[in-house]
Amino acid sequence: MRLSRYFLPVLKENPSEAQIVSHRLMLRAGMIKQSSAGIYSWLPMGFKVLRKIENIVHEEQMRAGHIPMQMPTIQSADLWRESGRYDDYGEEMLRIKDRHDHDMLFTPTAEELITDIVRSHVKSYKDLPLTMYQIQWKFRDERRPRFGVMRGREFYMKDGYNFDLTKEDALHAYNRHLVSYLRTYERMGLQAIPMRADSGPIGGDDTHEFLVLAETGESEVFYDSTVTDLSFGDRDIDYDNVEQCAAIMEEFTTKYARTDETHDEALFNEVPEDRRKVARGIEVGQIFYFGTKYSDALGATVQGADGKNQALHMGSHGIGVSRLLGAIIEASHDDNGIIWPEGVTPFHCGIVNLKQGDEAADGACEDLYKQLTNAGLEPLYDDRNERAGGKFATMDLIGLPWRITVGPRGLKNGVVELTSRRTGESEELAPADAVAKVIAIYENHRVVGL
């Protein structure tokens, strides 16, 4: 993309309505625009990152054997009456009437609808196990929408649902989700710690939330500091391997790590004092096992091997796709702007032409642009007739992890400059070597973009 032709409405001033850094930077970098309280338009660069995050979630869900599908955003109230949640959900549910006076609602989550689909079509234990998921807009009429996309009213969420014959199988699904989520967040450059949590209106006993530590997080969290030493890394996972998934689950959930809802002071005090941490965190996902709660309510049964009908064991699993943009920025920025991790960056590399109109500089930039594009990467070429300082400030604000700077003086010596946004370190390289290095950096971060 050439910046002169892109739509990147960068703000020079700090917007007064933004209380936290991620909201401020998303507005300043021209990624979102509020349309009404807690409801946003996703401007091109914000949309691009949203898609990158979404694509990582898809890749990791499919890798775990989960099946993508899509359900409607507007649902009839009937199924929610059947489950009892039409009344229980309260004011967060946006209720709508259609022209025939039917009660409809904008989906805050989809346990009822998916259970209805499964009860209609899944009749035998032979059809199990089954996990389907969607990435779809949700609406919750939050009392205090705030912090930009962190607590929106309309937000984008991955919601998945597993259907199993036995509790044991459903617990494997739970563990499998935990493992796939760890991998998902790590690919986004995030450490998200699974913490024992409260199940809220979804119901059930077993649940973990995934929290990214950040001062601006809305949840208070209590943990043994050694949980932050755990890293998922480059493990070879067989998602059908019950023991392997259970072992990883145990590894990541045995140490004390809880949100305030489940915090237990006595247990916490068993952690050595110098390792006891109280901090704040951003919830970026949650997994649940709730047994037969919905299948009982909606009559979702299958015939077992013994010919008897039995209720399906279920769980549901959510990732806050749009909230993740805020969480990533909270975890990765400096005074000058965003620092995107390679896995989710909107463009892989910036190209800054220090002297637009100079024949050698223009030609070298065009070459770099072509070579990176041909290698399947997306560079953002700042080809505007602007001063170098302004170009650098824009690049720093929008946070591309790598920048190639091209100027007539360097070119005389046959070099361009490759700079890391994270460390600020630069090296002078021949243009072809700079291209090769950028390609190598992204070898392990290939996500289809938009």
By the criterion CB under 6 A, which residues form the site for ligand ATP?
109, 140, 142, 151-152, 155, 157, 200, 283-286, 318, 320, 322-323
Evaluated on CA atoms 246, 248, 254, 258, the torsion sign reads negative
Selection from Mg ion, ligand ATP, none that 391 binds (CB < 5 to 8 A by kind) is: none
Nearest approach in angstroms of CB 440 to ligand ATP is 33
Q: Please, are residues 369 and 316 in contact by the beta-carbon 8 Å criterion?
A: no
195 pairs with which residues across the strands?
A: 209
Q: Please, are residues 281 and 213 in contact by the beta-carbon 8 Å criterion?
A: yes
Cα 158 from Cα 165, distance rounded (Å): 24
Considering beta carbons, is residue 108 or 401 the nearer one to ligand ATP? 108
Cα 115 from Cα 238, distance rounded (Å): 27
Nearest approach in angstroms of CB 315 to ligand ATP is 12
Give me the half-sphere count of Cα atoms (radius 13 Å) on the Cβ side of residue 181: 33
79 pairs with which residues across the strands?
A: none
Considering beta carbons, is residue 157 or 179 the nearer one to ligand ATP? 157
117: left (phi over 0), alpha (psi -120 to 50) or beta: alpha
Considering beta carbons, is residue 4 or 35 the nearer one to ligand ATP? 35
Nearest approach in angstroms of CB 372 to ligand ATP is 33
Nearest approach in angstroms of CB 287 to Mg ion is 9
Give the tokens for residue 267. Answer: 């247990």
Selection from Mg ion, ligand ATP, none that 285 binds (CB < 5 to 8 A by kind) is: ligand ATP
Q: Please, are residues 380 and 391 in contact by the beta-carbon 8 Å criterion?
A: no
Give me the half-sphere count of Cα atoms (radius 13 Å) on the Cβ side of residue 214: 25
Give the x/- contact pattern for Mg ion in 268-287, rule: CB under 5 A: ------------------x-
For residue 151, the SS3 value is strand
Considering beta carbons, is residue 111 or 396 the nearer one to Mg ion? 111
- What is the distance in angstroms between the CA of the first residue and the CA of the last residue of the chain? 11
Nearest approach in angstroms of CB 105 to ligand ATP is 15
Cα 378 from Cα 4, distance rounded (Å): 15
Residue number, nearest CB to Mg ion? 286
Considering beta carbons, is residue 50 or 404 the nearer one to ligand ATP? 50
Nearest approach in angstroms of CB 278 to Mg ion is 20
Considering beta carbons, is residue 262 or 310 the nearer one to ligand ATP? 262
Q: Tell me 127's DSSP state.
A: G
Q: In whole angstroms, what separates CA 139 from the centre of its chain?
A: 17
- Total Cβ atoms within 10 A of residue 62: 13
Nearest approach in angstroms of CB 320 to Mg ion is 8
Q: In whole angstroms, what separates CA 75 from the centre of its chain?
A: 25
Contact status: 207 vs Mg ion (CB under 5 A)? no
Counting residues that bind Mg ion (by CB under 5 A) gives 1
Selection from Mg ion, ligand ATP, none that 400 binds (CB < 5 to 8 A by kind) is: none
Considering beta carbons, is residue 140 or 391 the nearer one to ligand ATP? 140
Cα 253 from Cα 260, distance rounded (Å): 16
Considering beta carbons, is residue 48 or 323 the nearer one to ligand ATP? 323
Nearest approach in angstroms of CB 284 to ligand ATP is 5
Considering beta carbons, is residue 147 or 392 the nearer one to ligand ATP? 147
Q: Write a three-state SS string for 348-364.
A: CEEEEECCCCCHHHHHH
Contact status: 199 vs Mg ion (CB under 5 A)? no
Cα→Cα distances 402→21, 379, 388, 393, Å: 22, 10, 16, 14
Selection from Mg ion, ligand ATP, none that 184 binds (CB < 5 to 8 A by kind) is: none
Nearest approach in angstroms of CB 25 to ligand ATP is 17
Cα 427 from Cα 406, distance rounded (Å): 12
Q: Tell me 386's DSSP state.
A: -
Considering beta carbons, is residue 219 or 226 the nearer one to Mg ion? 219
Nearest approach in angstroms of CB 197 to ligand ATP is 8
Residue number, nearest CB to ligand ATP? 320
Contacts with Mg ion, residue ranges (CB under 5 A): 286
